[in-house]
Amino acid sequence: MCDGLKLKPFNFQGPQKIEFLEHLGEGLYAHVFKVKILGKIYALKLFRFVYDHNWPSPASDTDLEDRELMSAFYNYSEPFSCECRAFGRLQGAGHEELAVRCFGYVLLHEEHEHALMIRFSDLKLDFNGDIEYPGGEDMRSRFLGKDGRASPIRGVVKDFGLEDEENLRPTLMRKIFRDVIKLQQLGIFRIDVATR
């Protein structure tokens, strides 16, 4: 049975302090931001609380209101959990070079969420749903914490890479293909190979 996240939390070396610099883009499951933490530039991928039908699972044939069942799928199928498990697997197996370096996960504090929403108010960011139907349902409040509050926005801190399409030559493409095979051998199947 799956036993949860394998990735360690990001080490802020004290209180959580994040400076949001730029919204880099979004995908089906997340928004990506350029941030400054401890004087360094990183990419911070903040995950949406996606609809259950976005999870790769047989959940579409079941009662989505069955919290016990959906909780069982969470560690295997929910995108944030999957990403943390994949990066944790790479770190544990000593193969971090197969992906952009990941420094750990973040549970965004309320003051940072507030700062994020103010800084990017023109984007009308929504962390419920997916890119096609944001905010259609309050997924975030489905599983409240012990204190009755909604879950914090979750994310992963990664190296801030630079796009380099000019060097995307056959030799690099062959390396990427070999890396995909290695990822699959490690049990990591749902991957996103793209230049961004």
pLDDT at res. 39: 96
The pTM assigned to this predicted structure is 0.83
Beta partners for residue 26, in sequence order = 31
pLDDT at res. 2: 45
Helices 67-77 and 79-93, interaxial angle, to 10°? Answer: 40
pLDDT at res. 4: 52
Does 12 fall in a domain?
Answer: no
How far apart are the C-alpha atoms of 177 and 181, rounded to whole Å? 6
Residues of the chain scoring pLDDT < 50? 1-2, 59
Does 185 fall in a domain?
Answer: no
Annotated ligand binding at 146? The verdict is no
Does 186 fall in a domain?
Answer: no
Does 130 fall in a domain?
Answer: yes
The full 3-state SS of 108-175, as one line of letters, equals CCHHHHHHHHHHCHHHCCCCECCCCCCCCCCCCCCCCCCCCCCCCCEEEEEECCCCCHHHCCHHHHHH
How many structural domains does the chain have?
1
Does 26 fall in a domain?
Answer: yes
Does 62 fall in a domain?
Answer: yes
Does 175 fall in a domain?
Answer: no
**Of 94, 92, 81, 95, whose CA–CA distance to 156 is shortest?**
81
Q: What is the mean pLDDT of the chain?
A: 83
pLDDT at res. 63: 63
How far apart are the C-alpha atoms of 186 and 90, rounded to whole Å? 8
Q: Which residue range forms the structural domain that includes residue 46? A: 19-163
Does 147 fall in a domain?
Answer: yes
